[in-house]
Amino acid sequence: MATKNRERRAAAPAAVNRLILAWLGSPVHGSTGTRMCGLRYTASDGSEITLPVVYAREGSAVVVLAGQADRKR
């Protein structure tokens, strides 16, 4: 039972991430002025992961904020 609950909790953010990433790739996103983008990286097992992130510029630096960062490795 606990495993099913964990799987449901994991599936909900994944579905939301897919929706956000689809919106980020749409023409509508460019007109909203949000500072969001998809951050793609290769995981240690070789799979490619793309996460929606918020970013901000601070001088010449770019700061990236990922949601629920404490749950990510």
What ranges do the domains of the chain cover?
A: 2-71
Q: How far is CA 16 from CA 24, 43, 46, in A?
A: 12, 20, 23
Question: What per-residue confidence (pLDDT) applies to 51?
Answer: 87
pLDDT per residue over 12-45, tens digit each?
A: 688 888 998 998 888 876 666 678 889 999 999 9
Question: What per-residue confidence (pLDDT) applies to 46?
Answer: 95
Between 11 and 42, name the one with better pLDDT: 42
pLDDT per residue over 39-71, tens digit each?
A: 999 999 999 989 888 899 889 999 998 777 777
* DSSP designation for 46: S
3-state DSSP helix/strand/coil percent for the chain, to nearest 5? 40, 35, 25
- Rounded to the nearest 10°, the torsion over CA 9, 53, 37, 7 is -10
pTM of the model: 0.63
